[in-house]
Structures are given as structure tokens and as C-alpha cells.
């Protein structure tokens, strides 16, 4: 009777929520940053003929210099969500709420600012939407972030003199002195090969 592989349990809800929060933060901040670098308005200054009118294009960052900086803070906070835990992560969530609301307010200003020529309303709308996504990630983090798992260390430094533990090409684990190739013996074997000797002959 063949053995059945163990069934995989449901995904950790905390890890899933952490993934959602990071994706919301990245998507919202990235969208807001991109929208802030697009042209929101073009101020047209007429001049007497035969001179053409002057066109002064203004990006969202040109109208609101702090807007791209807030979006960058949102992007950096996505990494902070992974690096923090407990109460510290909830503080990051509160920061994200403030950043998201600030970005959304910048998008709202672009919609309500007095027209001084040609305007593009879709970029302020996208900027505001990005801010709301960042704020949503912050609300989720502030409310549930303390229950989410922390980012574990994938690699650990091996102490000098400790038995080596490694994985071969086939996935087998070699532990202890029996599965360890000492550096000194390896060097001696190569030296023997250079001299034309067979290192496997005692």
C-alpha cells in the first residue's frame, strides 16, 4: 500500500493578509507616483501675432512638490511592513494611513484647482485612487498587523568550527564529519593532481 503525501493545510491567514497589505501599498504608491509625474495642466499664455502662445506644462509634482515624496514614503513603507512586527508594524500602518490620505488629498486638489488652461483630470483621479489604496493598506495593517508573522531569516551564518550542513544537488542533507569535505584535504588533493599523482592511492 503506497504512502499518500501529507495534505497541505489552509494558508496562514496572517501571512495572506500581510501579502495583501504589501501589494496594496506597492500598487497604490506606485500608481500615485506615476500619476504625479504626468502633466496635470498646461497654462497657455497668448502672445501677439505672429508669435505662438506660450505653453507651460505642470506635472502633479510641479503643482505639489511634496506629492512625489509622499508616494515614495508609501513605497518604502511596503518594505517596512515586512521588516517590522507587533506594535512597530501597527505604527507603520498608522503612517500609511496618513500618507495615503495626504496623497489622496493631493489628487483632490488637482481636481478642484482653478483652471488656467488645459487640464487633464484623469491623472489626479488616478493619484487619488493610489492614495486610497495606500490608506486601505494602512488601515488593514493598523488593525491586524500585530497578528501577522514576521519575516524570517532565510540564511543563517555558520559559526567557525561548527559542523557543516548542506544540501547536495539531489536535495539530500549531509551533516557531521562524515558528509563534510574539509578544505585542507581538498587543497591537498588538487596539489597531488598538479604533481601528476593519484590522490585516491594511499
Assign residue 44 a region (left: φ > 0; alpha: ψ between -120 and 50; beta: otherwise).
beta
- What range does the domain containing 21 cover? 13-147
What is the pTM for the complete model shown?
A: 0.65
The band of 7, judged by pLDDT with boundaries at 50, 70 and 90, is very low
Give the chain's domain count: 2
> Are residues 192 and 97 both part of a single domain?
no
Query: For residue 20, is pLDDT > 70?
Result: yes
* Residue 133: other Cβ atoms inside 10 A: 24
- Cα 175 to chain centroid distance, Å, stands at 36
* Contact criterion met (CB below 8 Å) for 77 and 95: yes
> Are residues 112 and 70 both part of a single domain?
yes
In terms of DSSP H, where are the helices of the chain? 13-36, 60-63, 66-83, 86-112, 122-144, 183-194
Q: The C-alpha cell of 189 is what?
A: 588533493
pLDDT for res 192: 72
Query: pLDDT averaged over the chain?
Result: 76
Looking at residues 95-123, what average pLDDT do you find? 86
pLDDT for res 188: 72
Burial class (CB in 10 A: 0-12, 13-18, 19+), 19: middle
More confident site: 137 or 44: 137
Residue 25 inside a domain? The answer is yes
Residue 8 inside a domain? The answer is no
Residue 188 inside a domain? The answer is yes
pLDDT for res 193: 66
Residue 153 inside a domain? The answer is no
The band of 11, judged by pLDDT with boundaries at 50, 70 and 90, is low
Q: The C-alpha cell of 22 is what?
A: 504589501
How open is the CA angle 55-60-65, to the nearest 5 degrees?
110
Residue 154 inside a domain? The answer is no
> Are residues 131 and 199 both part of a single domain?
no
Q: pLDDT tens across 144-186, in order?
A: 888 888 765 443 344 444 444 444 444 444 444 444 445 556 6
Looking at residues 173-201, what average pLDDT do you find? 59
Amino acid at each position: 500500500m503506497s504512502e499518500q503525501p501529507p495534505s497541505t493545510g489552509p494558508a496562514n491567514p496572517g501571512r495572506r493578509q500581510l501579502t495583501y497589505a504589501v501589494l496594496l501599498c506597492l500598487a497604490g504608491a506606485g500608481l500615485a507616483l506615476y500619476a504625479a509625474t504626468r502633466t496635470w495642466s498646461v497654462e497657455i499664455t497668448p502672445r501677439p501675432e505672429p508669435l505662438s502662445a506660450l505653453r507651460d506644462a505642470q506635472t502633479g509634482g510641479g503643482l505639489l512638490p511634496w506629492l512625489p515624496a509622499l508616494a515614495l514614503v508609501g513605497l518604502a513603507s511596503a518594505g517596512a511592513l515586512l521588516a517590522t512586527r507587533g506594535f512597530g508594524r501597527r505604527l507603520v500602518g498608522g503612517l500609511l494611513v496618513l500618507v495615503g490620505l495626504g496623497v489622496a488629498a493631493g489628487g483632490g486638489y488637482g481636481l478642484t484647482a482653478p483652471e488656467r488652461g488645459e487640464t487633464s483630470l484623469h491623472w489626479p483621479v488616478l493619484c487619488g485612487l493610489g492614495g486610497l489604496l495606500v490608506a486601505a493598506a494602512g488601515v488593514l495593517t493598523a488593525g491586524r498587523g500585530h497578528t501577522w508573522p514576521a519575516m524570517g531569516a532565510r540564511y543563517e551564518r555558520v559559526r567557525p568550527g561548527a559542523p557543516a550542513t548542506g544540501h547536495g544537488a539531489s536535495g539530500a542533507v549531509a551533516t557531521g564529519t562524515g558528509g563534510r569535505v574539509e578544505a585542507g584535504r581538498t587543497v591537498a588533493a588538487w596539489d597531488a593532481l598538479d604533481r601528476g599523482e593519484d590522490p585516491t592511492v594511499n
